[in-house]
Structure 1
Amino acid sequence: MPPPSSFTQLVVVALLGSCFIFLSSSSNKPQSQITFSTPSQSVEATTSMFRIAIIGAGAAGTSTSFFLSHLLQSSNQAHQLSTEIFENSTYIGGRSTIIYPFDSELFEPIESGASIFVKSNLNLNKAIKQFKLKLKTFDENDGGNLGIWDGTEFAFRETGQSWLDTAKMFWRYGRAPYQLNGIKDEMIDRYKAIYESEFITKGPYYNLSAWAEASQLAGLLPLSGSKKLIEEQGINVQAVNELAAVACRVNYGQDISDIHALGTLVSLAGSDGMSVKGGNRQIFEKFAIESGATVHLAHQVTRISKVKPLNAVTDERSKYTISYRDANNHSLTSESGPFDAVIIAAPFHQTGIEFDTADVSSKIPNQPYVHLHVTFVITNATTPSGKFFGLPAEEEMPKTIYSTMMRNVLGKGQRPIFNSLSYLRNMGPKVGVIGDLHIVKLFSEATLSTETLGEIFNLPQNLIWVKRIEWDAYPVLNPIVDVNQLAPMKLDEGLYYINGFERLMSTMETETLAAWNVADMISKDLWNFHANQSWASE
């Protein structure tokens, strides 16, 4: 089969873009913890021991721990750092998770959450090199062609013939793919400036509005993606509502008329997708290990309490204690502290955390999330059934299908039943099954029943294995009219919040950018050291 045309590759690139501790004195403390030790240091009389608590062991929490350790070392001060990470689940990595086909580790794992990152993600790429992780290009592709489906019919289908696909795209979209590519390049250039010394030295940024203004991205927040591309950039409506809209649905599960322009451009900005062999969450495991943190898994934080300094003469800063319980046995509760700083590195309204003063929680606006259903299917069907899409059952179908809401938005068709369908891998033959097995991943807004899956793959008996996962995958990124209503990154003295940053952008890399800013903030607040360059640029 001839390779896809460069024009078609452009579309595919866009679609696959950014394409989410504790040492307690109590005897009844839950026991799920991992301690990562750091080399001992001699402690002089003038040094301090700073205790930091981080709530959440995902991309944000683990990278904050790592950056704090790095910034203290860079300051050349003799202080010591004791960082403790609480994680409600039983693993490190947050929304970066994996599954194994047939639930067996005999098979290579597949990303079920944050699947890829790109060359412009400088923190993740440096981490992979520094931690000596094995990188692989994004190869979740079982061959076949690509199609864009509007819930009623295919808006575009590749033929596998390069010249014909190019002609079809020119006829349908004109210059729009080239225009979108130019916008993508401009966005990447703006994004790269975030790592440069000029941006870093202006920080740390104590609120998101200041960060957005300094990065020159604030102007993209009040506009929807469709308004930005159609009205300001002059891209034709059909291309926006099919090509760009598909990127938004694949990356954020939202329609381009609802998502803000920054989220839209982030969706378009990916190219050369990569992932870590064995799972991207290894990056975050390494961040935790290299930071020397103590990680407590299956620990659910329930309350954060502010306490007065033990000695108001020598210690003017308030401290915090944290109440927590065993996530698997709520009757096992405990408290630990005091901590010099507490960092919330998880979506606040999903944590159930209470504060001892109501004014703190009132500073954090409620952030809704897109509830996503991920369905993995192992099937011996070589492609989806044409009959399901209103075509002859025997017709060869695309193995990668992205859906667009264009027809539904215009009131002329039904809402697509899935966001995307991708044949990921040919698993080869299996005894007792006719034909090779293929693993397929589907994203959808609702559960795909076994009956529906049987229709998609022609026959119920073609469903060899099915695994369903659902979670709050992406923040709802509707346009932001007033940036001053965004959550502050510093909630109170010694109390910080990272995940408000997701209201601007939500990727693995941008979580590490937010983490760097908060770590720099704490470094300045606790030991009076402010970085003049990013970790990625060192």
Structure 2
Amino acid sequence: MVVSSGMVRSASCILSMAAFLLLTAPLLQLCTGHQGPSDLPGKIAVVGAGVGGSAVTYFLHQQFGPQVQIDVYEADRIGGRLATLTVNNQLYESGSPSIHSLNLHMQDFVKLLGLRHRRDVPGKSAIFNGDQLVLEETDWYLLNLFRLWWHYGISFLRLQMWVEEVMEKFMRIYKYQAHEYAFSSIEELLRSLGGEHFVNMTQKSVAESLLGVGVTQRFIDDVISAVIKANYGQSVAIPALVGAMSLAGAQGNMWAVEGGNKLVCSGLLKMTKANVLHAKVKAISLHSSEKKPLYEVLYDQEGALGSEFYDLVIVAAPLHKTGYAISFRNFQPPLQLPIDSYHRVVSSIVHGYLNSSYFGFTDPKLFPFSSILSTDSPDSFYHSLENLCPINVTVGFRRKPPQEAAVWRVLSPRPLERRELKTLFKSYYSVQVIEWQAFPSYGSTGSSRTLPPIILHDGLYYSSGVEWAATSVEMSAVAAKNVALLAFNRWFELTEKIDQQDLLHKLKTEL
């Protein structure tokens, strides 16, 4: 066979092209975000299967691909604060009852999992100061506005403008995360959204911030304090950013998942085919490795101790004095962990007949409210009272009027005494009490308070610390995606995707 010079040149070109592709393949993989199996972490551990844990599992699965095994450790129940309980043969939300319409990650999860929004059941609210109703909602929007103006001037408009400004800046995070930008600290994330002003909002109280924009003290005492107490069981001394998130939810546009909000968590874990271990993590130990650190997770599963090794570990459960007690071993220097505590909230689910006369309605048929908020007064023994709808709402469903037995949720700082229950209810069939460390105990704000770190070690991350900046279902999801992106970008040394300055302008010029 005679080989022509043209064939030789063609073969040479083919070999050169093949060599070029082999040399540039790793670079192309990095640029496109699709790494080869040898570049990927072997195993990833996620501690906690609440909103934060299930969301970070989903986002890690998105970033690293299905080749990487993800083990999720949960000591209690999947869903965390998203939970349900049974009353009179029906299920009700016992945890976070509703989600704001601007919560885009949660909206995406619902669509992704094929879930549906629960049918809305309208209801009116009022605020009670212990003696009388200081504010009552009606069925007429314009009348509600007139009453607010009559009692508080334009304070409610100033409040709305303040909340909308904060939320408009907060919404920038979705654009950043869509372009796979991540932040190595909570402070850097906040600066990217609203500059130093957003960071300062974690040091300044919501009362101080609202007074600064012209909201009156009376409006804060009557309305703002009641909303904050109903959401967090704390006073208007909480940080301004936490308060803004809370007040955004108070302005309506709320929804819930048909069948229970916790379906989001179980659905995400099932979709990612994560390996869920119902076990309590006792310790995380650092082991040396030639290239990257290796972590050993030690756990207790029904009394049997076990351990597994991981390249990456994400703690998506609160680390605090009364919370998830994990010891960290072999870290030099020792890890600096959060030492703050969480605030206890007591939720009493009562099936009974409301005592409407306590609120000034001697005839129960005339009582029009589905929820009553309490002002922040020394004599108040509860935070809020809400008529609950079941997690599955049929087409013909209606709220039961006060003259009928209904299911009510009472939030209080401590378990209700019998006389207090008899004050709120004429009689009742059952009372189920849930006590939990629901939210950070924000206490007094000040410049000395520091936010918890996200990066605890090279491959060890903490996502739940974001609650000290603001706590909500969506904040947990935002923090989860940030941690997943941060872990991915740091693993592949994509430094240009981490802590970028003036990111909003950068994205505008790129587009």
TM-score normalised by L of structure 1: 0.77
Partner residue of 1:129 out of 78, 86, 111: 111
Moved more, 179-188 or 490-499: 179-188
Residue 335 (str. 1) matches residue 307 (str. 2): yes
Partner residue of 2:83 out of 89, 97, 101: 97
Quote how far apart the aligned CAs of 1:529 are: 5.4
Distance 1:519 1:167, change over 3 A: closer
Deviations 1:2-26 (A, max 9, x none): xxxxxxxxxxxxxxxxxxxxxxxxx
SS in 2 for 1:248: helix
Quote how far apart the aligned CAs of 1:525 are: 2.5
Query: Which residue in 2 is equivalent to 1:516?
Result: 481
Quote how far apart the aligned CAs of 1:179 are: 1.9
Query: Which residue in 2 is equivalent to 1:467?
Result: 432
Partner residue of 2:338 out of 335, 354, 365: 365
Distance 1:164 1:294, change over 3 A: closer
Quote the RMSD (CA, aligned, Å).
2.9
Distance 1:526 1:483, change over 3 A: farther
Contact 2:284 2:329 in 1 (8 A): yes
Deviations 1:202-235 (A, max 9, x none): 94211222122222121312211111001x1011
Which aligned pairs between 1:2-13 and structure 2 lie closer than 5 A? none
Query: Which residue in 1 is equivalent to 2:14?
Result: none
Larger radius of gyration: 2
Partner residue of 1:356 out of 306, 311, 329: 329
| Amino acid aligned to 2:96 | A
| Amino acid aligned to 2:355 | P
Q: Which has the higher contact order (CA 8 A, sep 6+)?
A: 1
Contact 1:204 1:517 in 2 (8 A): yes
Distance 1:456 1:81, change over 3 A: same
Quote how far apart the aligned CAs of 1:189 are: 0.7
| Amino acid aligned to 1:449 | E
Moved more, 484-493 or 270-279: 484-493
| Amino acid aligned to 2:202 | L
The unaligned stretches of length 5 or more in structure 1 are 1-42, 74-78, 409-413
Distance 1:479 1:213, change over 3 A: farther
Number of aligned residues: 448
| Amino acid aligned to 1:269 | A
Quote how far apart the aligned CAs of 1:393 are: 4.3
Partner residue of 1:157 out of 136, 147, 164: 136
Which aligned pairs between 1:45-444 and structure 2 lie closer than 5 A? 46-73=38-65, 80-89=67-76, 91-102=77-88, 104=89, 107=90, 109-139=91-121, 143=123, 145-158=124-137, 166-197=145-176, 203-216=181-194, 217-230=198-211, 232-256=212-236, 258-270=237-249, 271-297=252-278, 299-309=279-289, 312=290, 316-326=291-301, 329-330=302-303, 332-337=304-309, 339-349=310-320, 350-357=323-330, 362-379=335-352, 381=353, 383-386=354-357, 388-389=358-359, 391=360, 393-394=362-363, 396-397=366-367, 398-405=369-376, 408=377, 414-425=378-389, 436-444=404-412
Aligned identity (percent) is 23
Distance 1:159 1:289, change over 3 A: closer
Quote how far apart the aligned CAs of 1:530 are: 7.7
The unaligned stretches of length 5 or more in structure 2 are 1-34, 504-511
Quote how far apart the aligned CAs of 1:523 are: 0.7
| Amino acid aligned to 1:233 | V
What CA distance in whole angstroms lies between the structure 2 residues aligned with 1:83 and 1:45? 15
Moved more, 80-89 or 263-272: 263-272
Contact 1:187 1:269 in 2 (8 A): no
Quote how far apart the aligned CAs of 1:512 are: 1.0
Deviations 1:40-97 (A, max 9, x none): xxx9784545210111011111111111111124xxxxx93111000001x2111111
Quote how far apart the aligned CAs of 1:367 are: 2.6
Quote how far apart the aligned CAs of 1:201 are: 5.8
What CA distance in whole angstroms lies between the structure 2 residues aligned with 1:127 and 1:202? 18
Contact 1:385 1:455 in 2 (8 A): no
What CA distance in whole angstroms lies between the structure 2 residues aligned with 1:520 and 1:166? 43
Quote how far apart the aligned CAs of 1:249 are: 1.2
What CA distance in whole angstroms lies between the structure 2 residues aligned with 1:275 and 1:531? 38
What CA distance in whole angstroms lies between the structure 2 residues aligned with 1:421 and 1:274? 19
Which aligned pairs between 1:10-49 and structure 2 lie closer than 5 A? 46-49=38-41
TM-score normalised by L of structure 2: 0.80
Contact 1:425 1:438 in 2 (8 A): no
What CA distance in whole angstroms lies between the structure 1 residues aligned with 2:497 and 2:271? 22
Distance 1:320 1:392, change over 3 A: closer
Quote how far apart the aligned CAs of 1:362 are: 4.7
Distance 1:59 1:152, change over 3 A: same
SS in 2 for 1:269: helix
| Amino acid aligned to 1:341 | L
